[in-house]
Amino acid sequence: MTARSQRFLEFRMPDVGEGLTEAEILKWYVGVGDAVTDGQVICEVETAKAAVELPIPYDGVVSEIRFGEGTTVDVGTAIIVVDAGDSGSDGGPGESGDAGSAGDAAPAAAAGTAAPAAPAPAQAAPAAPAAKREAVLVGYGVAPSSTTRRPRKPQSGSGSGSGEHGTVPGQADRLNGHTAPAPPSEPAPAPASGLLVERPLAKPPVRKLAKDLGIDLATVVPTGQNGEVTREDIRAAATPPGLLPSTEQPVAAPGTAERETRVPIKGVRKATAQAMVASAFTAPHVTEFVTFDITRTMKLVQELKEDRAFAGLKVSPLLLVAKALLTAIRRNPEVNAAWDEERQEIVLKSYVNLGIAAATPRGLIVPNIKDAQAKTLPELAAALGELVATAREGRTSPVTMQGGTVTITNVGVFGIDTGTPILNPGESAILAFGAVKLQPWVHKGKVKARHVTTLALSFDHRLVDGELGSKVLADVAAILEQPKRLITWA
């Protein structure tokens, strides 16, 4: 590879969510012509798990931004091009696998510099393999991938290719690090009966889309580069002929206005919907309820707010509900388990990663507090406050939402008395904490105004039978009714 190919470097969408195949660009922090440095955050993207910021791994000037805000981009696709200057060397950190190929001309024009003419193929010296640097977020790896796709071989009788090797037009120049204009491609004709058909070219997300829609890739006419099947090809193949978009615009009836708005399902909301469907139709849910007097706990909350041990920390009823649930789990450890379908085993866990369901502008997420059972009450308050604040800001990391064992959902903040919560996939139980309200209640033989609430516990009936679930729920209510049990049951 020549020094010319080192000037314009492509930054590709990394895998920021452990195996996710795409991400939506939420916001760009840089524009064309801006100078960037190694490690500088250039944009914010949202995966199916969380919103994260992407740092760029090299220095230079932005010469091209390839996708606008709101665009969903496949992992591995170049999203921005940086003019790093003429380094004069054959390799270096941050080198894009196909930098200097088809992407060279456009970045040069955007940066306002004239791109030198590419040398003839005969004059190009072979380049030694260079160390390749991929954009990596802290805590997340990028799966290695090849940047050169194999060309589609010509079908028998198609007349395409350039000789016995079947090289597509312009391929030789691209493989030698140069760019040549490619002639318009024509759809490959259908193979003759009895001939062996090559496996269609398509990226993993496209193959998954085809599988989900029940489309055979071999029947799809590819329109992508080198005969690659694209998302648009799959969607076109999945659309019945009668439902193809019409060139004529429908005419609205006089005096009527559009009364529907369609919102694309993507990101966190899409992942949540898929997870809830999988949970609802995989784990047999049972929900139990208990209504009780929580007045003493409410008084304890006020006392803890004035305690110097909780200075700077948020103390709320949810904190004591969490502590009560952790105590109930310690008394009934069999409830803290998971179902391993593949091995047909129940996995008992000696740790509690306590999930807290949080409503955010991007949808419902469930980050969890790792090893919550080992934390003191002030430590639990600090962890809970940080978790909630991070979720509201949309900065929850994917790792924080993995590995949960049980969850609490505080529906009471919305004024709701109770509900039947659905399990977070892979977890054994979820506790719904309802609104605390002053109600007439029999206390010491007299009807008085007391603070009353309702708890609902949903659990996986494969793991938790009715007796165990009832014991856990009864223990939580008993602790909140008499908070001194946090000491006597310790």
How far apart are the C-alpha atoms of 202 and 197, rounded to whole Å?
15
Q: Please tell me the distance from the alpha carbon of residue 376 to that of residue 445, in angstroms, as a whole number.
A: 36
Instruction: Show the tokens assigned to 165.
Output: 């090797």
User: Would you call 461 a catalytic residue per the annotation?
Assistant: yes
Residue ranges of E strands in 280-433: 285-293, 337-340, 345-348, 354-356, 358-360, 363-365, 368-369, 406-409, 429-433
| 213: nearest Cα among 232, 188, 187 | 232
The values of phi and psi at residue 351, to 5°, are: -125, 155
Angle at 449 between CA 445 and CA 452, to 5 degrees: 95
**Whole-angstrom distance, CA of residue 341 vs CA of residue 425:** 13
For 349, other C-beta atoms within 10 Å of its C-beta total 16
Neighbours of 302 (CB within 10 A): 9
**102 CB neighbour count, 10 Å cutoff:** 16
| Cα-Cα end-to-end distance for the chain | 68
Please, are residues 320 and 373 in contact by the beta-carbon 8 Å criterion?
Answer: no
User: In this structure, which amino acid lies at residue 476?
Assistant: V
Per the document, the length of the chain is 490
Whole-number Å distance between alpha carbons of 94 and 181: 26
Distance CA 363, CA 392 (A): 11
> Checking DSSP bridges between strand 201-202 and strand 228-229, what pairing results, if any?
parallel
416: helix, strand or coil: coil
Q: What is the 8-class DSSP label of residue 47?
A: -
CA atoms 371, 373, 378, 382: torsion sign: positive
Tokens at 120, concatenated: 């003839």
Active-site choice (165, 178, 443, 461): 461
User: For residue 124, how far is the Cα from the chain centroid?
Assistant: 43
Q: Which residues pair with 288 in a beta bridge?
A: 457
- As annotated, the active-site residues are 461
